[in-house]
Structure 1
């Protein structure tokens, strides 16, 4: 999504921080909804993904997905998919590109994704 007038200005990564990118327009919209509904928790998610997107320190909040959700192919490359629990229902799903130190947000919403209900 290209920035336009009125959009928030994201800070660039510095030092050993990871770059965060939206992989889908819906993820950008969902991120904005999360920011509006749970700003503090969304900020903690942002900081966790910038600092260590594959952290296992709090597996109830941040973890790699399993089974059919464990890997997602983007641009012909398979990436591990992780999830961060922002609120009881709100989730951010992301792909981790180790070689580019980039995290791609593929899903963000204050509502729990339906694909884990099965």
Structure 2
């Protein structure tokens, strides 16, 4: 069975790691495409999201978005929105739900999102 919106990205998180779930059907499709094109990088992304979603150790690869993109409304709540660079063009955007210790992937694609162009 294929994953859908709300499904966990992989097995339940061990210990104190974060739960990572899909925030939209488009994110599911994009994640699967990233896995096909760049599996090792996508796995590193998942590991980073599970262990340290707010890591600042590699700002070029993982960072909070700014301006209008700094927050994203998900399930009726405004949450911090971050981005992880999987490949030179591929991105995963996610929001952090501290209350449920859940990361919601709201965008995943091997193509760079157009809203940051310009």
User: TM-score normalised to the size of structure 2?
Assistant: 0.92
Partner in structure 2 of residue 87 of structure 1 = 87
Distance in 1 (CA, whole Å) between partners of 2:59 and 2:41 is 16
Counterparts of residues 1-118 of structure 1 (less than 5 Å): 4=1, 10-118=10-118
Deviating runs (4+, > 3 A) in structure 1? none
Q: Name which one, 1 or 2, has greater alpha-carbon Rg.
A: 1
Taking a change above 3 Å as real, the CA distance of residues 85 and 5 of structure 1, as seen in their structure-2 partners, is: closer
Residue 5 of structure 1: how far off its partner (Å): 6.7
Distance in 1 (CA, whole Å) between partners of 2:10 and 2:66 is 30
How large is the RMSD of aligned CA atoms in angstroms? 1.7
DSSP-derived class of the 2:34 partner: helix
Distance in 2 (CA, whole Å) between partners of 1:71 and 1:95 is 8
Taking a change above 3 Å as real, the CA distance of residues 14 and 113 of structure 1, as seen in their structure-2 partners, is: same
Residue 10 of structure 1: how far off its partner (Å): 2.0
Residue 74 of structure 1: how far off its partner (Å): 1.4
Distance in 2 (CA, whole Å) between partners of 1:108 and 1:74 is 16
Stretches of structure 1 that go unaligned for 5 or more consecutive residues are none
Distance in 2 (CA, whole Å) between partners of 1:35 and 1:21 is 15
Stretches of structure 2 that go unaligned for 5 or more consecutive residues are 4-8
Give deviations 1:40-90, integer Å, cap 9, x for gaps.
100000100010111111000000000010001112211000000000000
Aligned length: 114
